[in-house]
Amino acid sequence: MTKFSANLGFLWADLPLTDAIHAAKAAGFDAVECHWPYETLAEDVKAALDASGLVMLGLNTRRGNVDNGENGLSALPDRITDARAAIDEALHYAVAINAHAIHVMAGFAQGAAAHATFVANLRFACDAAAPHGIKILIEPLNRYDAAGYFLQTTDQAKDIIAEVAKPNIALMFDCYHVQLMEGDLTHRLTALLPIIGHIQFASVPDRGAPDWGETNYSYLFEIIARLGYRAPLGAEYKPKGPTEQTLAWLRNHPQ
């Protein structure tokens, strides 16, 4: 049976994070994940998770100065101190709420110096997270939503994961981003399964609910199950209207 996680960065984004956790449970999700939970006290999130019986699969490092257009810090050669502070902050929060993973955001950068910086910061993150059993994730983002983002393809991510060479680093395979940049989702999922730490999805090309668009998720969910992937799949889509009105795909999925 396929399990699903609600990404509370998009789903029930109009609710306080603690209320969104309970809403996800009521809707039938098996887990939750989030983007940047830092404005909510970790102990409050932990209490909501405990009360609901859900686990928090992951969270992101801060983007940096959003007003200046930053979208991650860890590949920026002149922001190493800030990047590692963001990693430490994310790790402290993840430990407090028993989150399983941290997505370390690369940011807008390019070139050899950015690559070396990202690798060094990822090694730092992996070493810090390892004693807590927390996984470090990296995620390619598509050029339409995040033009100039350092990490854009799964091939690039695969090479970085090999170079970092730590047992607790993995790929966040977001079907939406990968379809827009590379396509061929079934073959890529099959080939990359050994390094995948989390899978997310949304309709393509509009990033809406997964029951329409150019990607047949009913088929893809079956493929993922056949591959033996058993962790919850992350619903990271932008609802058009109230979240509850976009969950027909979840209610209709075979249980």
- The string of DSSP codes covering 113-154 is HHHHHHHHHHHHHHHHHGGGTPEEEE----TTTSTTBS---H
State how many domains the chain has: 1
Residue 22 tokens, joined: 């309970």
pLDDT computed for residue 179 by the predictor: 98
Domain span at 43: 4-242
Average pLDDT rounded to a whole number, residues 109-129: 98
Q: Note whether residue 25 is domain-resident.
A: yes
Q: What is the pLDDT of residues 9-42, one digit of tens each?
A: 999 999 999 999 999 999 999 999 999 999 999 9
Average pLDDT rounded to a whole number, residues 154-165: 98
> Is the per-residue pLDDT at 169 higher than 70?
yes
> Is the per-residue pLDDT at 111 higher than 70?
yes
Q: Note whether residue 106 is domain-resident.
A: yes
Q: What CATH number is associated with residue 147?
A: 3.20.20.150
Q: Which of 39, 139, 163, 222 is catalytic?
A: 139
Give the number of other CB atoms < 10 A from CB of residue 193: 15
- 11 CB-side CA count, 13 A: 30
Is 11:240 a contact under the CB 8 Å cutoff? no
d(CA 141, CA 148): 9
Q: Note whether residue 253 is domain-resident.
A: no
Q: Which residues, at least 6 apart from 220, have a Cβ–Cβ distance to it below 8 Å?
A: 175, 185, 186, 189, 201
The mean predicted confidence, pLDDT, of the chain is 97
For residue 235, report the phi and psi dihedrals to the nearest 5 degrees: -80, 95
pLDDT computed for residue 29 by the predictor: 98
Q: Note whether residue 131 is domain-resident.
A: yes
Q: What is the pLDDT of residues 211-246, one digit of tens each?
A: 999 999 999 999 999 999 999 999 999 999 999 999
> Is the per-residue pLDDT at 7 higher than 90?
yes
Q: Which of 39, 182, 222, 236 is catalytic?
A: 236
> Is the per-residue pLDDT at 252 higher than 90?
no
pLDDT computed for residue 255 by the predictor: 60
Cis peptide bond upstream of 210, omega within 30? no
Q: Residue 28: left (phi > 0), alpha (psi -120 to 50), or beta?
A: left
Locate all alpha helices (DSSP H) within 130-244, ordered by sequence. 154-164, 175-181, 185-192, 217-226
Q: Note whether residue 252 is domain-resident.
A: no
- Confidence at 253, pLDDT banded by 50, 70, 90: confident
d(CA 100, CA 22): 19
Q: CA 126, 131, 133 angle in degrees (round to 5)?
A: 80
Q: What is the pLDDT of residues 176-219, one digit of tens each?
A: 999 999 999 999 999 999 999 999 999 999 999 999 999 999 99
Q: What is the pLDDT of residues 78-106, one digit of tens each?
A: 999 999 999 999 999 999 999 999 999 99
Q: Note whether residue 247 is domain-resident.
A: no
d(CA 108, CA 151): 9
Question: Residue holding tokens 């668009």?
Answer: 213
Residue 223 tokens, joined: 């493929």
Q: Clarify whether 236 is annotated catalytic.
A: yes
